Amino acid sequence: MAAVYPFLALRPDPRVAADVADVPYDVVSTSEARSLAANRPLSFLHVSRAEIDLPPDTDPYADVVYRTAAANFERLRTSAPLVVESRPSLYFYRLVMGDHAQIGLAACFSVDEYERDIVRKHERTRKDKEDDRTRHIVELRAQTGPVFLTYPAAPALDALAARITTHAPLVDFTAADGIRHTIWQVPAGDVSAIVDAFGQIPVLYIADGHHRAASAMRAKQALSGKSSEASTFLAVAFPHNQTQILPYHRVVKDLNGQTASSFLAAISARLTVAPGGPAPSGKGHVSMYLNGAWHDVTLGAPGRDAAPADRLDVSLLQDQVLAPLLGVGDPRTDKRIDFVGGIRGPAALSRAVDQGHAAVAFALYPVSVADLMAIADAGGIMPPKSTWFEPKLRDGLLSHLI
């Protein structure tokens, strides 16, 4: 079963919610965070990326960063203000980006179920990033950014969400990037029905936020005996059929000693290559930008016994092109490869090549939610930088005090 728990949310006064809310801490660099928060004293980036308020050469993992984060958090609670909910609550959180809309349940979820793989993973986490967010949680005694979960869509939950989101929202604003964020507090009389409906869902899947979830587990261990609230973690769970995955593209800085024409000949000897456009026509196809032109590359079929993760286009591209032809052995560590989130579009790829920042670019077809679930169910790990979830939740709208 998937347990959900109402919680006493710390949230902005609705009148300043748009001023407080900001992008997730891990999608921007320090310089980008500093720019976004400039002249915005209520921006939650002062809490989630507190190094922006310190000298530019400050180590983002220095003790002073976490002390500053805690001080900024307390200051924001007063100046915004941030208020603690009057009763333990659940929330529906709707994201709208263009024609796409998705509604998820904001709640607390079980750290124990995360440890027992009822909350399933598909990524490896890095210890340094876990260390950072664990310390952030423990210093603030709060989880300040939600994990993004998905689950097999359930008609009973869809019906509850549809009814409750006809009520007046608690928060409703459109951010500078054009994404609309709307939050409804679930009426007290509907909480048990939602808890019961989630109890019928066998598993949850982490879509985005593996480091947040792993850090919540470590914070629970660090606060053992000091906080019962640390046994749960803050997340927003969306039905799988509303969750949108954009591709994660690749750019490679050089052609591994080849000319553009010799590389094109080499890839054409292995795979079917034809003139194409900037967007792949479907699964099994990659759009390649080389020497000022787009090409359609048909990837070879995976082996009959290939694991689910090895069947992904990103894996096939790595095994059939990036490693053997371009010498990219490990995309996690090779400095010659870079990754471009699908939200930036194929124009970012062609621009990188045309401006000399890369020699070749590959636009991929997006991974499906079904692929993600199959890999997680098999206990597999997805290749690095293979999914870009969009639209993204905002930090600071709902925090969980522990």
Span 14-34, pLDDT tens digits: 999 999 999 999 999 999 999
Q: What is the DSSP letter of 393?
A: -
Alpha helices in 226-337 (DSSP H): 260-270, 313-317, 323-326
pLDDT grade for 98, boundaries at 50, 70 and 90: very high
The phi, psi pair for 230, rounded to 5°, reads -70, -5
In a domain, 32, yes or no: no
Whether residues 237 and 258 fall in one domain: no
In a domain, 307, yes or no: yes
Whether residues 271 and 220 fall in one domain: no
Q: Mind listing the pLDDT tens digit for each residue in 207-245?
A: 999 999 999 999 999 999 999 999 999 999 999 999 999
Q: What is the pTM of this model?
A: 0.93
The phi, psi pair for 52, rounded to 5°, reads -65, -20
Q: Mind listing the pLDDT tens digit for each residue in 273-302?
A: 999 999 999 999 999 999 999 999 999 999
In a domain, 30, yes or no: no
Residue type, 320: Q
CA distances from 360 to 235, 249, 276 (A): 38, 11, 15
Cα–Cα distance measured from residue 163 to residue 335, given in angstroms and rounded to the nearest whole number: 50
Whether residues 228 and 252 fall in one domain: no
Measured over the CA atoms of residue 15, residue 18, residue 24 and residue 29, the dihedral's sign is negative
Whether residues 102 and 186 fall in one domain: yes
Whether residues 168 and 152 fall in one domain: yes
Full domain range(s) for residue 193: 4-11+82-244+390-401
Whether residues 238 and 89 fall in one domain: yes
pLDDT grade for 343, boundaries at 50, 70 and 90: confident
Whether residues 234 and 303 fall in one domain: no
Mean pLDDT in residue range 325-350: 93
**Tokens standing for residue 126:** 């890095």
Mean pLDDT in residue range 38-64: 97
Mean pLDDT in residue range 45-66: 97
The pLDDT, as a whole number, for residue 342 is 86
Whether residues 133 and 108 fall in one domain: yes
The phi, psi pair for 400, rounded to 5°, reads -115, 110
Least confident segment among 12-21, 62-71, 382-391: 382-391
pLDDT exceeds cutoff 80 at 1? no
Mean pLDDT in residue range 313-330: 97
* Geometric angle at alpha carbon 70, from 32 and 26, rounded to 5°: 30
In a domain, 205, yes or no: yes
- The number of residues in the chain equals 402
In a domain, 330, yes or no: yes
Whether residues 150 and 270 fall in one domain: no
Mean pLDDT in residue range 261-275: 98
Instruction: Classify residue 223 by burial, with Cβ atoms within 10 Å: 0-12, 13-18, 19+.
Output: middle
In a domain, 63, yes or no: no
The pLDDT, as a whole number, for residue 234 is 98
Residue type, 162: A
In a domain, 212, yes or no: yes
Q: Mind listing the pLDDT tens digit for each residue in 133-170?
A: 999 999 999 999 999 999 999 999 999 999 999 999 99
Neighbours of 54 (CB within 10 A): 15
Specify the pairing of strand 204-208 against strand 119-120.
parallel
CATH of the domain at 333: 3.30.1760
| Per-chain mean pLDDT for the chain | 97
Q: Is residue 278 reached through a cis peptide bond, with omega within 30 degrees of 0 on the bond before it? A: no
Helix axes 155-164, 191-198, angle to 10 degrees: 160
Mean pLDDT in residue range 173-202: 97
Number of domains in the chain: 2
Whether residues 89 and 229 fall in one domain: yes
Cα first-last separation, the chain: 24
The phi, psi pair for 339, rounded to 5°, reads -125, 140
The pLDDT, as a whole number, for residue 63 is 98
In a domain, 166, yes or no: yes
Whether residues 204 and 261 fall in one domain: no
Whether residues 195 and 232 fall in one domain: yes
Q: Is residue 81 reached through a cis peptide bond, with omega within 30 degrees of 0 on the bond before it? A: yes
Mean pLDDT in residue range 183-198: 98
